[in-house]
Amino acid sequence: MKNKNIEIYTDGSSLGNPGPGGWGVVIISNEKPNHEFIELGGGEKDTTNNRMELQAVIEAVRYINENCKESIVTINADSAYVLGGVTNWVFGWEKNGWKTSKKEPVLNQDLWKELISLVRNFDGEIIWKKVKGHSGVEYNEKADEIATSYAAKQK
């Protein structure tokens, strides 16, 4: 996908927290006349919902780094945890040696570091948007379906 207008929806799922989990990504190229759709997904046997939410975004950003250089990409996520971390909290965590404001180690630090590295190495622009989960947003629902199906396969 080499274009300037890409929309991505991500979601994570965990059946139990921790428990079997899955992540899902829907990538839409909005260049006319052809719309291209790509679906990505995966899972882990013993994980948490937050880790799967992060993994979905990591895989989305990895994909755009490899296939959509110099594009304008909108990443839609229903996770306040992911969006708050990537757009705000990470700066404080880095400054404080990956400690929270309560001086405790940041959870999921391995995934946060991977995500931030991928984001900083992207040659285009990423716009972060919050979508309401389980509210009928078509591609968010599809990302959830992918994530949930991978979680179920891990049981």
- Return the CATH number at 48: 3.30.420.10
Residues classed as catalytic = 11-12, 53, 78, 134, 144
- The pTM of the full predicted model, rounded to 2 decimals, is 0.94
In whole angstroms, what is the distance from residue 80 CA to residue 133 CA? 10
State which amino acid sits at residue 32: K
Q: State pLDDT tens for residues 33-86.
A: 667 889 999 999 999 999 999 999 999 999 999 998 889 999 999 999 999 999
Task: Provide the pLDDT for residue 31.
Answer: 66
Q: State pLDDT tens for residues 95-125.
A: 999 999 899 999 999 999 999 999 999 999 9
Domain that holds residue 69: 5-154
What's the domain count of the chain? 1
Query: Do 116 and 86 touch, CB atoms closer than 8 A?
Result: yes
Q: What is the CA radius of gyration of the chain?
A: 15
Dihedral of CA atoms 56, 58, 75, 20 in degrees, nearest 10, equals 10
Q: How confident is the model at residue 1 (pLDDT cuts 50, 70, 90)?
A: very low
